[in-house]
């Protein structure tokens, strides 16, 4: 897989999957493996992914393998409310919170956010440059004062913002994800809100994409936001998501500075009444 140009994270995911199967059945016996998959308590989507890994492995070992047919099921992504996202961010450590805020505002993939360098941060222009992964497009995103403050609060020990570049990026991100899982559980327990337990790094990417689509109704804008090269990939994030209730948080701005802060926080201008400007943001 390395010789074929696969990313190290993809290779390690495949290896972990094969090792998991090997612990439960005889990996070199395809019929035994298929019997295990047939009864395993795994989702259909997971079985389909494992089957792809197995097919690659058996081809390499030159072992005949007639792959079982598991058809991937399209599911509606879980989208938390912005209040829940902000509560989660507020309840985590400085480093975790900054990482979550980056994904919330930029819709970066976890690996893209994890690879951010200090030179990618342009505080003067309020921008972050994202180096793509998975064949995506490079992009530059405007960010808030809040995000800049959170990121700049991190110690400048390395050329990367979130981790030592000497460490394996996949393994270090896995360790960081486990730290996040522990903190997320404590926040969910503290707020007695089990929905927060469903918020993964990728959930925040879903969140940004769906909110931007609902705000703009511009699928090409969302496509550019996510760095997708195919609009079919963008539709996965948007076309199944609907909002049954139009509920908003409303705020007023009495001057330019207050209006600027509201816009940077995601509020949109509605109208002006009695010399104050009204803004709103979806709950």
CATH 1.10.443.10 residue spans of the chain:
82-238
Prediction pTM value:
0.74
Catalogue the long-range contacts made by 177-184 (C-beta closer than 8 Å, 24 or more residues apart).
Answer: 177/110, 177/201, 179/93, 179/96, 180/92, 180/96, 180/99, 180/100, 183/91, 183/92, 183/93, 183/96, 184/88, 184/92
SS3 at position 171: helix
CA distance 35 to 262: 57
Which two structure tokens, joined as six digits, stand for 142?
A: 């405007």
Which two structure tokens, joined as six digits, stand for 145?
A: 């004062």
**Burial class of residue 200, CB neighbours in 10 A (0-12, 13-18, 19+):** middle
Region 82-238: CATH code? 1.10.443.10
CA distance 44 to 50: 10
Q: What is the DSSP letter of 197?
A: G
**pLDDT, position 95:** 97
HEC-encoded secondary structure of 59-102? HHHCCCCCCCCCCCCCCCCCCCCHHHHHHHHHCCCHHHHHHHHH
Q: What is the pLDDT along the chain (283 residues), one digit of tens a residue?
A: 988 888 888 898 899 999 999 999 999 999 999 999 999 999 999 999 999 999 999 999 999 999 999 988 877 778 899 999 999 999 999 999 999 999 999 999 999 999 999 999 999 999 999 998 877 788 999 999 999 999 999 999 999 999 999 998 888 999 999 999 999 999 999 999 999 999 999 999 989 988 888 777 788 888 888 888 887 778 766 554 555 555 677 888 889 999 988 888 878 888 887 788 888 886 6
Phi, psi of 250 (to 5 degrees): -110, 140
């Amino acid at each position: 897989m390395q010789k074929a140009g696969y990313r190290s994270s993809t290779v390690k995911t495949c290896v972990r999957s094969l090792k998991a199967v090997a612990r439960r059945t005889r990996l070199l016996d395809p019929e035994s493996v298929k019997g295990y998959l047939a009864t395993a308590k795994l989702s259909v989507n997971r079985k389909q992914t494992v089957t792809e890994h197995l097919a690659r492995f058996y081809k390499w070992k030159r072992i005949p393998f007639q792959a079982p047919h598991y058809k991937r099921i399209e599911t509606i992504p879980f989208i938390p409310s912005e209040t829940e996202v902000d509560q989660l961010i507020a309840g985590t450590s400085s480093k975790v919170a900054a990482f979550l805020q980056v994904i919330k505002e930029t819709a970066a993939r976890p690996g893209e956010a994890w690879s951010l360098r200090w030179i990618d941060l342009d505080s003067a222009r309020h921008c972050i440059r994202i180096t793509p992964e998975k064949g995506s497009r490079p992009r530059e995103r405007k960010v808030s004062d809040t995000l800049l403050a959170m990121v700049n609060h991190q110690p400048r020990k390395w050329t990367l913002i979130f981790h030592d570049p000497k460490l394996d990026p996949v393994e270090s991100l896995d360790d960081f994800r486990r730290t996040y899982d522990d903190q997320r559980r404590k926040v969910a327990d503290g707020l007695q809100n089990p929905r927060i337990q469903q918020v993964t790094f990728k959930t925040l990417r879903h969140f940004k994409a769906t909110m931007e689509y609902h705000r703009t109704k511009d699928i090409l804008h969302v496509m550019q936001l996510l760095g997708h090269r195919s609009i079919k990939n963008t539709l996965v994030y948007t076309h199944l998501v609907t909002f049954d209730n139009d509920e908003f948080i409303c705020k007023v701005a009495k001057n330019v500075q207050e209006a600027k802060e509201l816009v940077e926080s995601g509020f949109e201008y509605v109208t002006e009444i009695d010399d104050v400007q009204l803004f709103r943001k979806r709950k």
